[in-house]
Structure 1
Amino acid sequence: MKLSLSVLICCCVLLLSCEDTKKEKQVSAEKTPTTTEASEKNTEETETPSEKKYPKITQENVVEFLTAYGKDNPETNLRITTTHGTIDLELYEDTPLHRANYIYLTKQGYFDNTFFHRIVPNFIIQGGNSDNADTNEKRYQIGKDYLIPAELNGRNHTYGSVSGAKQYRENPDKKTAPFEFFIFLGPQTSTSHLNGNYTVFARVTNGMDVVEKIANLPADDNEWPQKNVEISVEVL
């Protein structure tokens, strides 16, 4: 009788032990994410800004879009890499729409494989355009019809200043064409038609020797370099 009772107690203990172990395994399985779930989570966490889908920029949403983008992307330094060397820029914080626009275009890869397409010795070099088909395609994807409101702030053109280009001279609101910019290197006597009409949004901090070299390359009658000066731009 005592033996039977001891056997019965042992069996009960074993059953309870097995049940607890089973429950622990179930809880452990519930807390461990599957390989697919872990992979999806990692993908979300490692998504880069350039992979994020943004709406096309239009004249109606340009201020709202660039204001919001600028708050999330506060960088102020860019590097232009050319076939003749590098040029470093500092973007001004008191031209927030222009700063945000050029950071956005850079992170979207717009400037890569564009050119310094206009060069005038002792005056300017202008970049952001090309005769490549993918340049127009990039403009279409980003929003080819918007202009940036002027942010003049009383800043004049000086040696190494960077300004936004305009699509046409008769532009009473002095809005900037978003995809092109020019670096000024001419004398102050050449700024009378620039000051107060073009937004100065950055300055060259390093590489004016490269700017000078590009400005003095052979060019055709339309001020286009005879040999393309390809560029790429990155955020520092």
Structure 2
Amino acid sequence: METPQGSCIIGLYDETPHHRDNFIKLVKSKYFDATTFNRILKGFVIQGGDPDSLYEKGHKLKPEQKWLAAEFVPTLYHRRGVVAMGRDVNPAEASFTTQIYIVDGKPMSNEQLDAVEKKYHQHFSEAQREAYRTVGGTPFLDQHYTIFGEIVKGIDLIDKIAAVKVDKAGNPETPVWMKLTLLTPKQATQALK
């Protein structure tokens, strides 16, 4: 993923194959190259990929814009650097196929994690707690939004994008475009060296 602020490499998870395959299809079609990160909320998420508001009255969705059934996996959680699909408050918690976000989040104490567990009826493993205490994340999103990948190189891109000047709603004053390229296994191996 390239942006005006720099680039990163995203690894995709096999555990959420429908979301992974949807993302790959959109990357191959260059869909995301015409979109931006339209919502940047420092300490929470960096969201983009949706060039048209889903909720505009009378607006017809493009063929690639649809709902995708949730794929929640207990071992995948919203630590910093994770990439997931956005959604609205639909009861099935289905993802909007073209809306992605990267978790920024912030470190949390055990007491804060206890409060999240109680409020959202969740249970965090010790590995999750360690990640949330040290690298941070957004634990209250766990098992409510589908995760399909994570930044495996260039995680500092999060800080660079989060530093962009935004309005009160998190909309950047200057567009933060994205260009995504699918790497072959050989290219990925070379890039990760």
Give the TM-score taking structure 1 as reference length: 0.59
Range with bigger deviation, 155-164 or 185-194: 185-194
In the TM superposition, structure 1's runs of 4+ consecutive aligned residues that sit over 2 Å from their partners are: 187-193
Q: Secondary structure at the match of 2:143?
A: coil
Contact 1:115–1:130 (8 Å) recurs in 2: yes
| Equivalence for 1:182 | 101
The runs of 5 or more residues in structure 1 that have no matched partner are 1-79, 132-136
Task: Give the TM-score normalised by structure 2.
Answer: 0.71
Alignment of structure 1 residues 1-236 onto 2, 5 Å? 80-130=1-51, 140-142=62-64, 144=65, 146-154=66-74, 155-166=76-87, 168-169=88-89, 171-187=90-106, 189=108, 191-236=138-183
Distance 1:103 1:175 in 2: 18
Q: Give the RMSD, CA atoms, in angstroms.
A: 2.1
The separation in 2 between residues aligned to 1:101 and 1:232, in whole angstroms, is 16
Kept after mapping to 1: 8 A contact 2:41/2:162 = yes
Residue 209 of structure 1 and its aligned partner are, at CA, apart by 1.1
CA distance in 2, matches of 1:219, 1:191: 20
Higher normalized contact order (CA 8 Å, seq sep 6+, divided by chain length): 2
For 1:212, the aligned partner's letter is D
CA distance in 2, matches of 1:225, 1:187: 21
SS of residue in 2 equivalent to 1:159 = coil
